[in-house]
C-alpha cells in the first residue's frame, strides 16, 4: 500500500510530494515504512522529512490547547523513533518542536511574568519545574552586574517616594531593616535615573533579589531592559492582554526550523576562512555536502590548499568517487537538486587515497575535517566507518580534528551503550557471497558507522559557531527540555513544563 502511493522508487523527494495529497495517518505510516526499509536515510534527509511531516501534523490538529498538541507530537515522535532508533535526527527534530510548543505555551500563560526577567520566587522551587528555564536565553547572566543594573533602578525608582516622605533618618533605618534592597539614604531628589544602577547598588544588593516584583516596578514608557525577552506587541498590554494563538505560533517556529535546515551549510561555511589557510594539507572522509561547501567557501576566498580524500570503502566509496569527479552527492534522488561543483574546478588539488594509507600520510596532514552522522551530548560522535581510525591516527600525530555539524545533529542522548549505536550493513560488500565456503567458517561484519570519543575531537563548528566538545552540554540545554529527552514519558511528565508557574 505505501509503495503504490510513492511509486516504484521511493525516496525523500517522492515522500515530500506525497505529503501534499496524502492524509496524516497515511503519511506517518509511509514515513515509518521508508525508515525501516532505509529508503530515507542520513541525518539531513531524515530531518527534512520529519519536520515536513510534523508541520502537517500541527496544521491538521484542531485543538489549540498546548497540552493536547504536545501529546499529539509525542505520540507521533514515539512511532518515528521506534521505527529507526539509530537515525537520531528524527528524535532531535521532534524534541525541538516540543521545545517550541512549551516555550509558546509558557509565554501565553502570563505575558507579564514570561518576559524573561529573572526573579526569585517566595517559595522553594518544585523539583523538575522548568519555569526558570527561559532565563538561560537572556542577554545577561543572573549573576552579572549588568543584569542587576538593568533591573535594579526600576525597583529603586519605585521606592523613591517612600524615602522622600520620611522626615528624618529613623524611618529610613527602619525601612532598611525590612529589606536589604531599600536604601533610602543613597537616594536623593537630584539623582538622575541613569547613574542609579552603579551608584545605588552593591554586590549584595545585586545578588539578593526581592521577594516578588513591586507593581510599580515597571520600566518607563518606551523603555525596556536588555535582559527582557522580546514579546509580541499584543503582550505589552499586561496580563489582561489577548492570549496568543498557540497553533499559529508553533507553525511559525516550525517554519523557522525548516529554514535553519536549508541554511545550515551556508552558515557553517562562513567560518571556513578562519580555519583553512594557504598551503595547508587537509584530510577528509566520505562524501559530505557540508564538508564540500566548507572547502569550496575557503577556495572562493583565494585559499590554496590540498585535500586528501579517503574513499571510505566499502560503504561510501562510490559516493566519494562521484563527489571528487563530478561534485554531485552520489547520484541519489534526494541529492539530485543539490549538486555542487568539484573542488578541482576551483583550482584545489584533491588526492583520493585508500583508508589503509591514513596513518602513513597523517604526519603530512595539517588538519582533519570530519562530518558526523550524529553528535552525542558528551561531545562524542557517530560517523562513517573509518572515522575512528582517522581520529586516533590524528591524535597520535598531534593533528587537530575539526567536526562540521549542524545543531540538528546534536542529540541529548549519552553513549551509555556504544554497541547499540552502531549500525551494521551488508556483509557481502566485505566478502562476496560467492566465497560461500570461506563465509561459512568466519563471521563477517560490516559496520556502517564508528563511535568516536570526545577526547579525539578538538573543535566542533556548528551553525552557531565554533565550540569545544565540553561546551556541547550548554547547546543541548538551550535547544531541548529535560522532560522531552525521553519521548516515552508519562502524560503528567509531558505537561509539567506547560503547567509550571
- Could you give the CA distance from residue 407 to residue 476 in angstroms, rounded to a whole number? 9
- Could you give the CA distance from residue 117 to residue 399 in angstroms, rounded to a whole number? 45
Q: Which three cell numbers stand for residue 287?
A: 562524501
- SS (HEC) of 369-394: EECEEEECCCCCEEEECCHHHHHHHH
State the DSSP code for 96: H
pLDDT at 137: 43
Yes or no: say if 308 and 283 are a contact pair by the CB < 8 Å rule. yes
Count of CB atoms situated within 10 Å of the CB of 270: 13
pLDDT at 339: 60
Q: What are phi and psi of 228, to 5 degrees?
A: -80, 145
Pairing mode of beta strands 449-452, 465-467: unpaired
- Residue found under cell 603530512: 364
pLDDT at 33: 95
pLDDT at 5: 47
- Could you give the CA distance from residue 163 to residue 157 in angstroms, rounded to a whole number? 10
Yes or no: say if 384 and 315 are a contact pair by the CB < 8 Å rule. yes
Give how far the C-alpha of residue 99 lies from the chain's centroid of Cα atoms, to the nearest Å.
Answer: 11
Using alpha carbons only, give the angle 125, 131, 134 rounded to the nearest 5 degrees.
Answer: 130
Q: Is the sign of the CA dihedral 51, 53, 54, 56 positive or negative?
A: positive
Yes or no: say if 407 and 479 are a contact pair by the CB < 8 Å rule. yes
Output the tens digit of pLDDT for each of the chain's 501 residues: 444 444 457 889 999 999 999 999 999 999 999 999 999 989 999 999 999 999 999 998 887 788 999 999 999 999 999 999 999 999 999 999 999 999 998 887 765 544 444 343 444 554 544 444 444 443 333 433 334 333 334 444 444 444 444 444 444 444 444 444 445 444 444 444 444 444 444 544 554 444 444 444 444 444 444 433 444 444 444 444 566 788 899 999 999 999 999 999 999 999 999 999 999 999 999 989 999 999 999 999 889 999 999 999 999 998 999 888 888 654 444 444 456 688 999 889 999 999 999 999 999 999 999 999 999 999 999 999 999 999 999 999 999 999 999 999 999 988 888 888 899 998 888 888 887 777 778 888 999 999 999 999 999 999 999 999 999 999 999 999 999 998 876 443 333 333 333
Q: Give the residues across from 424 on adjacent strands.
A: 447
Yes or no: say if 261 and 51 are a contact pair by the CB < 8 Å rule. yes
**Fold adopted by 270-467:** Rossmann fold (3.40.50)
Pairing mode of beta strands 401-404, 459-462: parallel
- Residue found under cell 568539484: 342
Q: Which three cell numbers stand for residue 185?
A: 539614604
CA distances (Å), 495 to each of 66, 67, 301, 473, 501, in order? 9, 6, 50, 24, 12
**What is the end-to-end Cα distance of the chain in Å, rounded?**
47
Look at residue 239 and give its three-state secondary structure.
coil
- Provide CB contacts within 8 A for 427, sequence distance 6+: 439, 444, 445, 446
pLDDT at 187: 44
Domain boundaries, the chain: 139-227, 270-467
- Sheet bearing 372-375, strands edge to edge: 372-375, 381-384, 449-452
- Could you give the CA distance from residue 195 to residue 193 in angstroms, rounded to a whole number? 6
Amino acid at each position: 500500500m505505501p509503495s503504490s502511493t510513492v511509486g516504484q522508487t521511493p525516496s525523500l523527494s517522492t515522500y515530500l510530494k506525497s505529503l501534499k495529497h496524502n492524509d496524516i495517518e497515511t503519511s506517518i505510516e509511509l514515513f515509518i515504512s521508508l525508515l525501516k526499509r532505509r529508503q530515507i536515510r542520513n541525518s539531513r534527509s531524515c530531518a527534512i522529512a520529519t519536520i515536513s511531516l510534523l508541520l502537517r501534523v500541527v496544521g491538521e490538529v484542531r485543538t489549540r490547547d498546548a497540552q493536547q498538541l504536545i501529546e499529539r507530537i509525542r505520540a507521533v515522535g514515539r512511532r518515528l523513533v521506534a521505527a529507526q532508533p539509530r537515525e537520531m535526527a528524527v528524535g532531535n527534530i521532534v524534541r525541538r518542536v516540543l521545545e517550541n510548543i512549551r516555550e509558546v505555551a509558557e509565554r501565553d500563560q502570563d505575558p507579564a511574568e514570561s518576559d524573561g526577567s529573572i526573579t526569585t520566587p517566595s517559595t522553594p522551587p518544585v523539583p523538575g519545574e522548568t519555569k526558570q528555564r527561559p532565563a538561560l536565553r537572556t542577554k545577561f547572566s543572573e549573576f552579572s552586574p549588568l543584569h542587576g543594573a538593568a533591573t535594579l533602578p526600576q525597583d529603586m525608582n519605585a521606592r523613591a517616594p517612600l524615602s522622600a516622605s520620611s522626615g528624618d533618618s529613623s524611618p529610613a533605618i527602619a525601612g532598611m531593616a525590612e529589606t536589604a534592597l531599600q536604601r533610602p539614604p543613597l537616594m536623593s531628589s537630584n539623582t538622575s535615573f541613569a547613574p542609579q544602577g552603579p551608584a545605588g547598588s552593591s554586590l549584595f544588593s545585586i545578588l539578593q533579589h526581592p521577594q516578588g516584583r513591586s507593581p510599580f516596578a515597571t520600566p518607563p514608557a518606551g523603555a525596556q531592559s536588555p535582559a527582557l525577552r522580546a514579546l509580541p506587541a499584543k503582550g505589552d498590554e499586561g496580563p489582561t492582554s489577548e492570549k496568543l494563538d498557540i497553533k499559529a505560533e508553533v507553525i511559525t517556529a516550525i517554519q523557522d526550523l525548516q529554514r535553519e535546515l536549508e541554511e545550515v551549510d551556508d552558515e557553517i561555511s562562513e567560518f571556513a576562512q578562519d580555519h583553512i589557510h594557504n598551503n595547508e594539507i587537509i584530510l577528509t572522509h566520505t562524501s559530505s555536502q557540508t564538508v564540500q561547501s566548507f572547502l569550496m567557501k575557503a577556495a572562493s576566498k583565494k585559499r590554496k590548499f590540498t585535500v586528501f580524500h579517503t574513499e571510505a570503502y566499502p560503504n561510501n566509496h562510490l559516493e566519494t568517487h562521484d563527489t571528487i569527479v563530478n561534485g554531485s552527492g552520489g547520484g541519489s534522488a534526494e541529492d539530485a537538486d543539490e549538486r555542487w561543483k568539484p573542488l578541482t574546478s576551483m583550482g584545489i588539488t584533491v588526492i583520493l587515497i585508500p583508508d589503509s594509507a591514513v596513518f602513513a600520510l597523517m604526519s603530512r596532514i595539517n588538519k582533519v575535517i570530519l562530518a558526523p552522522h550524529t553528535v552525542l551530548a558528551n561531545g562524542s560522535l557517530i560517523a562513517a566507518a573509518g572515522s575512528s581510525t582517522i581520529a586516533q591516527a590524528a591524535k597520535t600525530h598531534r593533528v587537530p580534528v575539526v567536526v562540521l555539524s549542524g545543531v540538528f545533529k546534536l542529540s541529548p542522548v549519552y553513549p551509555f551503550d556504544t554497541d547499540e549505536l552502531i549500525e551494521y550493513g551488508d556483509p557481502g560488500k566485505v566478502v562476496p557471497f560467492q566465497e560461500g565456503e570461506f563465509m561459512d567458517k568466519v563471521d563477517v561484519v560490516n559496520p556502517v558507522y564508528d563511535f568516536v570519543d570526545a577526547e579525539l575531537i578538538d573543535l566542533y563548528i556548528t551553525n552557531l559557531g565554533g565550540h569545544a566538545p565540553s561546551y556541547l552540554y550548554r547547546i543541548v540545554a538551550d535547544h531541548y527540555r529535560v522532560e522531552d529527552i525521553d519521548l516515552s514519558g508519562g502524560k503528567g511528565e509531558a505537561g509539567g513544563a506547560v503547567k509550571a508557574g
